Amino acid sequence: MRHPAVALDLAETLPPPAIDGCPFQQVFYNLLRNAYQALPATGGHITIRSRANDFEYVISIEDNGIGISPEHMGAIFEPYRTTKSSGSGLGLLIVRRIIREHGGEIAIESREGQGTRVIIHLPRAERTVRMLGSPEPMIEVD
């Protein structure tokens, strides 16, 4: 059994996102399972990061696993495509659908033999706008 190191680099304070928690449990389960399955037998690590800016939340999950070959990168969101010996080939398709249903987007960066980074962008329910020349540094916009 693998025992990867897991590092959390989370923003100290984040306003609550306007998402349905149940589907996002599936998103994180699928992404973390993929990261875990790609890890080497020893020395594996997964890093989970979260940030927010004025317009969006950015969440990333990064591993030092086997990575995805360039020839497979173009098909990672296609149904029933998998490079694993088991699995349905629907996991990333479901992940992308849930994220898009919440107004977000997903990007995947990978280098074969070095690892993969999955980046999720989700819009903030409330947005903060910086007004130039305003005595108040930020205002909220609906």
Spatial separation of the C-alpha atoms in residues 38 and 76, rounded to whole Å: 14
DSSP state of 96: H
Per-residue pLDDT of the chain (142 residues; tens, 9 = 90+): 778 899 999 998 877 676 777 889 999 999 999 999 999 999 999 999 999 988 899 999 999 999 999 988 888 888 777 766 666 678 899 999 999 998 999 999 999 999 999 999 998 876 555 556 555 555 455 4
Q: Where residue 70 sits, what CATH number does that domain have? A: 3.30.565.10
Domain encompassing residue 84: 5-141
For residue 2, the model assigns a pLDDT of 76
For residue 133, the model assigns a pLDDT of 58
Q: Of the candidates 24, 30, 8, 38, which has an alpha carbon nearest to the alpha carbon of residue 99?
A: 24
Whole-prediction pTM value? Answer: 0.81
For residue 106, the model assigns a pLDDT of 97
Total tally of structural domains belonging to the chain:
1
